[in-house]
Amino acid sequence: MDMTSKTVMITGASRGIGAEAARVFANAGANVVLLARSQDDIAALAGEIGEKAIAIPCNVARYSEMYSAVATTVKVFGGIDVLINNAGVVDPISQMSAADPDEWGQLIDINVKGVFNGIHAALPVIKSGGGGSVLTISSGAAHNAIEGWSAYCASKAAVNMLGRSLHLEESANGIRAIGLSPGTVATQMQRKIKDSGINPVSQLDWDVHVPADWPARCLLWMCSPEADKYCGEEISLREDEIRRAVGLI
């Protein structure tokens, strides 16, 4: 994929999948907009990438900050072609009976409201440019209940429906909405899961997790016409068909 002259906005870009996606898209020629609460981390990544990157501190759970980030992006790069909704948290990991209600609600604010906020703020800009892609990181947890993950499972199920709803409403306007379930990825989130000791996912050996550049490379492929048949759906990086299409096997 040649992304020259395209602009890609990535939430949760300070580390993990988001940071790797920034590198992959920048290497493909795109301008990349790095959003995260961790100002120092995204500033360092923007410095690494160079003039094609800008870092904007942003809490996706606050619509005003997301709206402002979109306005800044338009001012600097002229538009948005791809929005990658990657920001997400897994805490609190606990039984529902023991969960802190405020922490449970904070996860929903980030994982669900954050995705809606990104879509709502960026959609008019993407449409005004003739259309583009809205790619959202989902999870197998969207489809299967996992002990201790009530908030995370609920949030990813909601995100799956947000993507499907976006496709229903905006595909005729050139919006390509696709979800990506990356499987288990070797990121800091997996270290938190491991430390929790709750449910079978925390018992997995580290070497079974795929590297973060795999989903990043998949996100780039999802912007290609080859992925058009998956618009309105969620694809899984666990599937050999997808890994083959991306060039991972």
Catalytic residues: 152
Say which residues have a Cβ less than 8 Å from residue 124's Cβ, sequence separation at least 6: none
What CA–CA distance (Å, rounded) separates 129 from 56? 22
What is the b/e burial string over 47-65, where b = at least 16 CB atoms within 10 angstroms of the residue's CB? eebeebbbbbbbbbbebeb
Say which residues have a Cβ less than 8 Å from residue 199's Cβ, sequence separation at least 6: 146, 147, 148, 149
By the 8 A CB rule, do 180 and 234 touch?
Answer: yes
Instruction: List the beta bridge partners of residue 54.
Output: 33
Q: What is the CA radius of gyration of the chain?
A: 17
